[in-house]
Amino acid sequence: MSSLKYFMKEELKKDEIVEVPGTETFADDNGKPVPFLIKKIGVEEMNRIRQNYTVKKQARNEKGKPILDKFGNPVFITEVDDSKVTNRLIVESLVQPNLKDPELMKFYECVDVMEMPYKIFKKPSDYKYISNQVLLVNDLIEDKSDEELVEEVKN
């Protein structure tokens, strides 16, 4: 006999927030990096974000002509704009700093929240770091161990 109580987890009803180390760019008054707080995004929201940046378009050959199937119907391909998906994940996941905060957006002279990751993480190293942290927290990439990184460099 199974029991539903094993599937009734209070923690699943709440957002999980993960603290990750900050970067030198964003240090407190003592020079200590301010940590980032990243919210884990649920599957439903993840799918919605991905769907918003997915387009279906007609496939074309090297010469730009439409590709047709054997019945003469156009062939369609689906493309996902991964950079926009990642940017949206950064916007939706970051709790500290909250990129949607009106004061922060005003400071960076930004009207479109999707521009905020580029404004606040202007240094390529900072943008790469925060995007990797957001993807790691959301289980979209795996954290490589030092040994794996050494092996990768060797090859």
Contact 108, 100 (CB under 8 A): no
Region of 139 on the Ramachandran plot (φ > 0 left; ψ -120 to 50 alpha; else beta): left
Can you give the pLDDT at residue 149?
47
Domain ranges of the chain: 8-53+81-149
Contact partners, residue 78, CB within 8 Å, separation at least 6: 54, 55, 56
pLDDT reported for residue 115: 96
Class of residue 41 by CB neighbours under 10 A (exposed 0-12, middle 13-18, buried 19+): buried
Instruction: Mark out the alpha helices in 39-122 (DSSP H runs).
Output: 43-52, 82-93, 102-107, 116-120
From first to last of the 155 residues of the chain, give the pLDDT tens digit: 578 888 888 888 888 999 999 999 999 999 999 999 999 999 999 999 999 999 999 999 999 999 999 999 999 999 999 999 999 999 999 999 999 999 999 999 999 999 999 999 999 999 999 999 999 999 988 876 545 545 655 55
- CATH number listed for the domain at residues 8-53+81-149: 3.30.2220.30
Give the global pTM: 0.80
